[in-house]
């Protein structure tokens, strides 16, 4: 099962994402290094394990306060072999133009999709090569409800993103993951939110989840990564 480290970028720093409450995010305090600078954090993660894929949430882009495109280019220049999954708050095909010259795999968050027509246009533009994030908070599903219930709009790779569990140390949402996995046919399902330790990873493996997006459990060293991959 694949472990994908997560970096949340805000105002040029890596922040600690917690419960999806972005207005309260603070610079990360990591046991891996004494810095919140993105390249320092990434280098520490790579020293921990030679990850092949990195998930970046550009929170400035998601909240329409600019973006980190130059910083992401610097990351790609230093680590050209890492595939970047990027959530930049893309809400329609026009918004993709800002990233045309960067070699990233776009993560399309359901929270930004208010019309299936917009997702269809994004799909056409990217020729189906994107990752769909099905986003949930305490109130339930975020985005166009048809996207939650009609799997014909799901691409090959789908993230179950439980924002209310992110950074919470509350554990994974087993019930929601099992439901999405049962709907997914042969799609690859990735869990995001609540992974605390190797026990949680074992639970995900028992559900045949393809991978997990992880931040907090890596930074506090509660996840023994070398025993998993």
- Give the CATH number for residue 212: 3.20.20.70
Instruction: Determine the pLDDT at residue 28.
Output: 87
Is 0.75 topped by the overall pTM? Answer: yes
Instruction: Determine the pLDDT at residue 23.
Output: 61
How much is the average pLDDT of 5-15? 94
How much is the average pLDDT of 11-38? 81
Instruction: Determine the pLDDT at residue 27.
Output: 84
Interior CA angle at 125 toward 52 and 82, to 5°? 10
* Distance, first Cα to last Cα, the chain: 7
Can you give the residue range of the structural domain that contains 34?
2-227
Instruction: Determine the pLDDT at residue 155.
Output: 97
Instruction: Determine the pLDDT at residue 193.
Output: 87
The sign one gets for the Cα dihedral 189, 190, 196, 202 is: positive
Instruction: Determine the pLDDT at residue 227.
Output: 64
How much is the average pLDDT of 176-201? 94
Interior CA angle at 91 toward 122 and 119, to 5°? 35
Quote the percentage of the chain above a pLDDT of 90. 80
For the stretch 100-132, pLDDT in tens is 989 999 999 999 999 999 999 999 999 999 999
Q: Which two tokens stand for residue 158?
A: 């789908």
For the stretch 201-220, pLDDT in tens is 999 999 999 999 999 899 99
How much is the average pLDDT of 62-88? 96
Instruction: Determine the pLDDT at residue 228.
Output: 63
Phi then psi for residue 134, to 5 deg, are -85, 110
What's the mean per-residue pLDDT of the chain? 91
| pLDDT value at 154 more than 80 | yes
How much is the average pLDDT of 63-78? 95
Instruction: Determine the pLDDT at residue 67.
Output: 96
Domain count, the chain: 1
Quote the percentage of the chain above a pLDDT of 70. 93
Alpha-carbon 106 to chain mean position: 10
105-109 and 83-87 strand pairing: parallel
What confidence tier does 169 reach under pLDDT thresholds 50, 70, 90?
low
How much is the average pLDDT of 58-82? 95
């Amino acid at each position: 099962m694949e472990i994908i480290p997560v970096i949340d970028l805000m105002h040029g720093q890596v922040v600690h994402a917690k419960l999806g409450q972005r207005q309260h995010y603070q610079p990360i305090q990591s046991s891996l290094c004494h810095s919140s600078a993105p390249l320092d954090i990434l280098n520490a993660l790579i020293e921990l394990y030679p990850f092949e894929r990195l998930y970046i949430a550009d929170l400035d882009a998601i909240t329409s306060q600019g973006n980190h495109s130059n910083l992401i280019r610097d990351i790609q220049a230093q680590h050209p072999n890492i595939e970047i999954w990027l959530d930049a708050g893309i809400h329609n095909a026009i918004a993709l133009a800002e990233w045309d010259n960067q070699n990233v795999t776009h993560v399309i968050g359901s929270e930004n999709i208010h019309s299936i027509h917009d997702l269809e246009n994004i799909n056409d533009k990217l020729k189906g090569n994107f990752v769909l994030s099905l986003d949930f908070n305490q109130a339930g599903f975020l985005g166009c409800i048809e996207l939650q219930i009609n799997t014909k709009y799901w691409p090959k790779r789908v993230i179950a993103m439980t924002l209310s569990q992110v950074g919470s140390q509350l554990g994974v949402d087993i019930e929601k993951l099992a439901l999405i996995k049962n709907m997914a046919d042969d799609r690859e399902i990735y869990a995001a939110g609540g992974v605390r330790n190797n026990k949680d990873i074992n639970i995900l493996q028992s559900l045949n989840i393809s991978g997990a997006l992880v931040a907090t459990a890596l930074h506090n060293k509660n996840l023994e990564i070398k025993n998993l991959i």
